[in-house]
Amino acid sequence: MAFNTPVFILFFVVVLLLYALMPKRYKWIWLLAASWFFYLYASAKFFIFVLLTGASAWAGALYMQKLHDRERQLRSCAVRQEDLKQLRERLQRRRKRMLISVLVLNFGILAVLKYLGFFCENLNQLLASFSLEARIPGFHLILPLGISFYTFQTMSYVIDVYWRKTQAERNPFKVSLFVSFFPQIIEGPIGRWNDLAAQLSAERACSALDVRRGLQLMLWGYFKKMVIADRAAIVADFVFSHYLDLSGFGIAAGVFLYAIQDYADFSGCIDIARGCAKTMGIDMAENFRRPYFSRTIPEFWRRWHMSLGAWMKDYVFYPFSLAKGVRRIGKTARKRWGRHLGSTLPIALGNLLVFFLVGLWHGASWNYIVWGLFYGILIALSALLKPLFDKLRTWLHIPAHSRAFMLFQILRTFAITCAGCVIFRAATLGDAAGIFTGLFRGAFFSEAWKSELLSLGLDKWNWAAMLGSLLILLIVDLMQEKLSVREWLDRRSAPLRWSVCAIGCLLLIMLAVYGPGTSPVQFVYMQY
């Protein structure tokens, strides 16, 4: 039940109407029922994995919470200090064993379903390279819908209970709602228990303001997805499949539009999800903050898929960077090569690990792994070489905050992300290399550039519709850099607000991809 289908629209309307009419104390139960129905309709045979993830998280967190409570009770008991220390160590070992058990179970399920086939395939290739006849049977397993998203979200809850950042929930059905909440289970954002759980179970009345703002956000998401992303997908798919037959200009157009598709598709889906939740008074985490306006690659990743970045920062980067072994490496580097390298080397190693995992999270493919390492190496080098870059900028007398230099930084960062898009989107690493090479093939701007554009899958009308919509997206994003467009719109008169919404609906109906010669495209991140 993808968000861009009539079935989902009907489902959402029914859920919202009954949620508004439902007594306050039962609203969370209705959300749980709706979420379970959503997943059963979309992927019934994999529903058991959602239930297993929720059940293991509930039981594991509750067990660790009981051990926390027991340790707290020991402090008020008349126990010798030595005995108290031994008891606390014993409780800590039991907590750690439970945490490891839950993590191994859930990440193990994710690893088997998502990566076992990839592992077997590469192992067979390795054996063949040594002329060994042994062959491991291959596996081609279908992934449960949203498994990467709900696994990461649920494990953050378990880890937070272990770290005593949150209290374990005693009601297993409320934990299940947190795991399976239907707006976010497909593509996120990856929520946190402390931010989301209380909202899901809150006893509240439906607010007209929440409904209006939620529908506005959904409308904007549908506009980005159906008008921009789905058109851009037609060109990108053609170019990445036929790059050998195209000039450098045609390939560049395809790469540019894939970058646009990726952003408009994913951020559009998140807007629909957040808008859907907002209509019911639930605020989900922001996941995009206009990343193509970033001046550096680290800033880009602070703006792109923010919930995944925050998860990796809290549960991978900080534990790894603060580990004794990594800190020891930093101290050694400081003694031998100076303070800057000593302080940045642990951070660089942490970033390499994080982006390797980010690449692997996206899928079982060498393309994704290389794509992740591409960003990890760039960010590591930018941190390590920052003093050199600062000296070079000073030597060249370039003002750091001039508009020209800021524009250069934005364009440079966007070009780098486009290069990352090639690695990410190409069918193989060989195809990625061929696309990079093809960018320099022939005259970049030939006399036939117009006819080449029209040969990429879109006619003149659809090119005009997409480019005009891109201009609207650019204007709105520029406004968003200075102010909240929705809050600005709320301060306007009712006729103006309704006129803007009416124009948006009209544009969506007129320009939506369900026109002649086109068809709806699956959301990009549904496969992850």
- The domain spans of the chain are 6-205, 215-284+440-527, 305-420
User: Does residue 67 have a pLDDT over 50?
Assistant: yes
Q: What is the pLDDT of residues 318-365, one digit of tens each?
A: 999 888 888 888 888 888 888 878 788 888 889 999 999 999 998 888
What whole-number distance in Å separates Cα of residue 354 and Cα of residue 191? 19
pLDDT for the residue 58:
96
Closest listed residue to residue 437, CA positions, set 448, 422, 451: 422
Please compute the mean of the pLDDT values over residues 232-260 and round it to a whole number.
91
Least confident of 240-249, 457-466, 480-489: 480-489
What whole-number distance in Å separates Cα of residue 201 and Cα of residue 165? 19
pLDDT for the residue 516:
44
Q: What is the pLDDT of residues 113-165, one digit of tens each?
A: 888 877 777 777 777 777 666 666 666 667 788 888 999 999 999 999 999 99
pLDDT for the residue 528:
55
What whole-number distance in Å separates Cα of residue 509 and Cα of residue 513? 9
Please compute the mean of the pLDDT values over residues 191-205 and round it to a whole number.
89
User: Does residue 439 have a pLDDT over 50?
Assistant: yes
248, amino acid identity: G
Least confident of 80-84, 244-248, 330-334, 523-527: 523-527
As a whole-number percent, the residues of the chain with pLDDT over 70 amount to: 90
User: Does residue 48 have a pLDDT over 80?
Assistant: yes
Q: What is the pLDDT of residues 440-457, one digit of tens each?
A: 876 555 556 677 788 888
pLDDT for the residue 315:
94
Please tell me which of 30-34, 142-146, 222-226, 489-493 the model is most confident about, judged by mean pLDDT. Answer: 30-34
Cis ω for the linkage preceding 189 (within 30 of 0) = yes
pLDDT for the residue 154:
93
Closest listed residue to residue 364, CA positions, set 34, 44, 67, 143: 143
Please tell me which of 121-125, 306-310, 490-494 the model is most confident about, judged by mean pLDDT. Answer: 306-310
Q: What is the pLDDT of residues 258-301, one digit of tens each?
A: 999 999 999 999 999 999 999 999 999 889 999 999 999 999 99
Angle at 13 between CA 10 and CA 17, to 5 degrees: 145
What whole-number distance in Å separates Cα of residue 225 and Cα of residue 410? 24
What whole-number distance in Å separates Cα of residue 442 and Cα of residue 237? 21
Please compute the mean of the pLDDT values over residues 415-437 and round it to a whole number.
93
Band (pLDDT 50/70/90 cuts) for residue 180 is: very high
User: Does residue 505 have a pLDDT over 50?
Assistant: yes
pLDDT for the residue 127:
72
Angle at 90 between CA 87 and CA 94, to 5 degrees: 140
Q: What is the pLDDT of residues 51-62, one digit of tens each?
A: 999 999 999 999
Closest listed residue to residue 162, CA positions, set 68, 32, 262: 68
Neighbours of 392 (CB within 10 A): 11
As a whole-number percent, the residues of the chain with pLDDT over 90 amount to: 45
| Cβ density class 284-316: b for 16+ within 10 Å, e for less | bbebbbbbbbbbbbbbbbebbbbbbbbbbebbb
> Which tokens is 498 given?
């309704």
What whole-number distance in Å separates Cα of residue 147 and Cα of residue 455? 38
Band (pLDDT 50/70/90 cuts) for residue 64 is: very high
Band (pLDDT 50/70/90 cuts) for residue 85 is: confident
> Which tokens is 327 given?
């800190």
Calculate the average pLDDT of the chain.
86
More confident position, 322 or 172: 172
What whole-number distance in Å separates Cα of residue 47 and Cα of residue 53? 10
Band (pLDDT 50/70/90 cuts) for residue 400 is: confident
Please compute the mean of the pLDDT values over residues 37-43 and round it to a whole number.
88
